[in-house]
Amino acid sequence: MPSSLPPLDALPDEARQSVRTVSLDPGALICLEGDRCVSLPFVLSGEARVYRTSASGRGLTLYRIAPGESCILTASCLLSGHPFPAFAEAATPVEAALLPADVFVRTFAEVPALREHVFGLLARRLGAVIELVDAVAFLRVDERLARYLAENADTNGHLARTHEALAEALGTSREVVSRTLKEFERRGWVALARGSVTIQDASGLRNY
């Protein structure tokens, strides 16, 4: 049980014994819309993506799950009995610890560290999703793309994503992303290459 996560370490021994770890390849589906969740995943390494899809097949990322975090929608479903309202997939290779649903529900009330972990994450996600509503409702695609690049690039300004992947993140189409990025390139804000974007002028992008 290589849990090594504070909320899991705080579990009583018997509960810790029930934790299993899994490895997922990029693109592997973790949860489908309508699923009954059977365990609460804690991401140990890699990153997972939770998204919705439209009737016409477009996707929109709700949030990403980083190492140390767990899927709060799953926790919410387990405690409320509702089915999972979105899709979750591995965005990179993912290692995750799985806490069985019944053990989670039983220990949730008893273990303060677990409760606080779930509660804190839930509050943060709510805030993030509210920001997302705001952006989708009030900002143009180019503004949202500029913001997305600025927030998701690494320290060198580099971001390894295809236009298709960026479109899925923003809930728009690939062509719109291609056009917009080309415009950003013309303005000298980014450099484009196959499968990646590199920010050249972060302030231009941010002040947009």
Which does residue 66 touch among DNA, its own copies, none (CB within 5 to 8 A, set by kind)?
none
Residues numbered 96-135 forming contacts with its own copies, rule: CB under 8 A? 109, 112, 115, 119-120, 122-127, 129-134
Query: Which phi and psi angles does 197 have, rounded to 5°?
Result: -130, 135
CB 206 within 8 A of CB 146: yes
Q: Per CB under 7 A, does 188 bind DNA?
A: no
Residue with token string 């997302």 = 132
Strands (DSSP E) found in the chain: 20-24, 29-31, 39-45, 48-53, 59-65, 87-90, 94-100, 158-159, 190-193, 196-199
Chain positions 67 to 96 lying near its own copies, rule: CB under 8 A, are 72-73, 76, 79-80, 82, 85-86
Residue 142 sits in the site that holds DNA (CB under 7 A): yes
Which residues in the 35-54 window bind its own copies by CB under 8 A? 52, 54
Position 64 contacts its own copies (CB under 8 A) = no
Q: Does 140 bind DNA (CB under 7 A)?
A: yes
DSSP3 helix / strand / coil % (the chain, rounded to 5) = 45, 25, 30
When the beta carbons of 44 and 70 are compared against its own copies, the nearer one is: 70
